[in-house]
Amino acid sequence: MRILLIDDEELSLKALSGFLTHQLGHDVIECGDSSEALKQYKTTPFPLVISDIRMPGIDGIELSRYIKSLPQSQFTDIILVTGYGNMDAAIQALRAGAYDFLLKPIDVEELASIVRRVEEHISLLKENLDLKTNFENQVSKAASEVKEKYELIKSAYSKIVGIGNIGIFSEKMREIRDMTEKLYQDPSLPVLIEGETGTGKEVVARLIHYGQGDVTTPFVSINCTAIPSNLFETELFGYEGGAFTDAKKKGAIGKFELAQGGTIFLDEIGDLPLEIQPKLLRVLEEKAIYRVGGLKKIDLDIRVICATNQNLQQKVKQGRFREDLFYRLNVAYIRVPPLRERKEAIAPLAQLFLTRYAEAKNRRFRFLHRDVVKILEEYPWPGNIRELQNTIERAVLLYDDIEIRPEYIRFLTDADSDTSFRGPETGTIVLEPGKIRLPADKLDLKALEEEIVQKALSKFNGNKTRAAEYLGLTRSSLRSRLKEF
């Protein structure tokens, strides 16, 4: 695929270009500024444009708006690169027509994944256009061929929106899938999804929203633990210009308005600040919002889905969650069981992940050794499906074989002690109060840090808030570290 890469920092430009060219096999044209990039694009349109946001002259957001205004951009996707944590810029990027955005420093695996999705998306757009243009002729010639193409397009779209290739391997999950199909039919019902961290609550929410995969309305996801309490109201409801100091002159729309016609997914709803809860209750009852500082009532046409890894009924009893809001959210209820309660699904899920990662990382892996299946089924999986997925990905990354063998996942059974840790090729490291005993040879500090974090998560059954407190970190710092591993 031809890629137009724009960055005014030469080192960054060369590094990204080298990865896209030599590792992923794409044809990359480099540009040091937006003016040069526009000349290249007008001469020959590119399927993918990757641009930094902050550049002298025309910045990445203006460049994105201009390119998407051109008629030849219908088969062009744009990825904008922004500084870590700059969510305002990210939202502006999406509104300017960008397909996706990346945070600095760039995770090359995330970049590779997005580039693959772009290839599928462009192919989907071309097939869709061809299908619409020639639909009547294709129906008259070969109805079966049209049906097959439609199924392929729907399957590709399902993967793009994050609901493709889902494994349903237990009776309980089949019941949940059946319930999501019923809830898909009635978007007026609020849905509450409870389950431990890593059980797949957002996947269930997406199944409710997308149904069979032919929905194009927005799915807006918000993690309630990731937004500072003083910014909650503006993030959810938006604000009018001049509503507060440093407010944008034109104001800004909130996540509820972004979700118009679709679904808003409030993850970790149990951490919603108490002062915001009555405002959310009012929105659910009135099906309308007012922007901060605004007088105009904005009617909403959205589905509300909430998820939590906490026991909301217990929080209600403790006075940490409003009872009226709980009953308003709990109209339709789904409990996603932890992986240890559906052991029959562990081996099939592991095989699904093995096939996926072996293909993605070009490894020979095809099977799970029978002793590995026994280890996986006996392990308690405090991190649930996410931990299982990470375990298989780690084994595929570190080794290359026909089957996953017990020694490739030894780190699972070696993580039982509270005071000793074993990192790859580092030997045993013993941590005791007031004393640290290091290995004689060498120490892989990053591997040790990763294992300490994973053991802390295991200690608190995947609860990131409690693990962060135990490690003396903020929850956002812990999330950043997990992303780096």
pLDDT string in tens for the chain (485-residue length)? 999 999 988 888 998 999 999 988 999 999 999 999 999 999 999 999 999 988 888 888 899 999 989 988 989 999 988 775 566 776 777 787 888 888 888 888 889 999 999 999 998 888 887 777 776 566 566 555 545 544 444 444 444 444 445 667 888 989 999 999 999 999 999 999 999 999 989 999 999 998 876 677 899 999 998 888 888 899 999 999 877 777 787 888 999 999 999 999 999 999 999 999 999 999 999 999 999 998 899 999 999 999 999 999 999 999 999 999 999 999 999 999 999 999 999 999 999 999 989 998 999 999 999 999 999 999 999 999 999 999 999 999 989 899 999 999 988 876 444 444 444 444 445 555 444 556 656 667 777 788 888 888 877 777 888 888 888 888 888 887 887 76
Same domain assignment for residues 205 and 296 = yes
The CA distance from 480 to 351, in Å, is 28
Number of separate domains in the chain: 4
SS3 (DSSP) at 9:
coil
Task: Give yes or no: residues 393 and 422 share one domain.
Answer: no
Q: Is the bond leading into 439 cis (omega within 30 degrees of zero)?
A: no
Please name the residue ranges forming H helices in 59-107: 60-69, 87-95
291-316: buried (b, 16+ CB within 10 Å) or exposed (e) per residue?
bbebeeebebebbbbbbbbbebeebb
Is residue 261 within 8 A of residue 302, CB to CB? The reply is yes
Q: Domain check: are 346 and 444 in the same one? A: no
306: β partners: 192, 266
Both tokens of 451, joined, read: 């294992």
Instruction: Specify if 282 maps to a domain.
Output: yes
Same domain? 311 vs 346: no
SS3 assignment, position 348: helix
Is 127 found in the same domain as 189?
no
| Residue 150 maps to a domain | no
Domain-embedded: residue 56:
yes
- 252: DSSP letter: B
Instruction: Tell me the C-alpha distance between 449 and 50, whole Å.
Output: 33
Give bridge partners of residue 100 from the DSSP assignment. 79
- The answer on 359 and 432 residing in a single domain is no
Q: Find the helix or strand (DSSP H, E) in which 140 lies.
A: helix 135-141
Q: Which of 413, 440, 457 is the last residue before a domain boundary?
A: 413
Burial class (CB in 10 A: 0-12, 13-18, 19+), 132: exposed
Domain check: are 216 and 325 in the same one?
yes
Same-domain pairing of 314 and 179 = yes
> Does residue 84 lie in a domain region?
yes
Residues 6+ apart with CB under 8 A from 212: 154
Whether residue 178 sits in one domain with residue 275:
yes
For 197-239, give the DSSP string: TTS-HHHHHHHHHHTTT---S-EEEEETTSS-GGGHHHHHH-B
Q: What is the CATH number of the domain that holds 257?
A: 3.40.50.300
Assess contact for 124 and 156: CB atoms under 8 A: yes
**Of the residues 413, 430, 454, which one is the last residue of a structural domain?**
413
In this structure, the answer to whether residues 281 and 375 fall within a common structural domain is no
Domain assignment present for residue 139? The answer is: no
Q: Is residue 141 part of a domain?
A: no
CATH of the domain at 477: 1.10.10.60
Q: Are residues 186 and 307 in the same domain?
A: yes
Among the three residues 131, 154, 180, which one is the final residue of a domain in this structure? 131
Residue 381 maps to a domain: yes
Strands (E), 296-354: 297-299, 303-308, 332-335
Domain around 454: 418-485
In a domain, 74, yes or no: yes
CATH number at residue 406: 1.10.8.60
Same-domain check for residues 192 and 326: yes
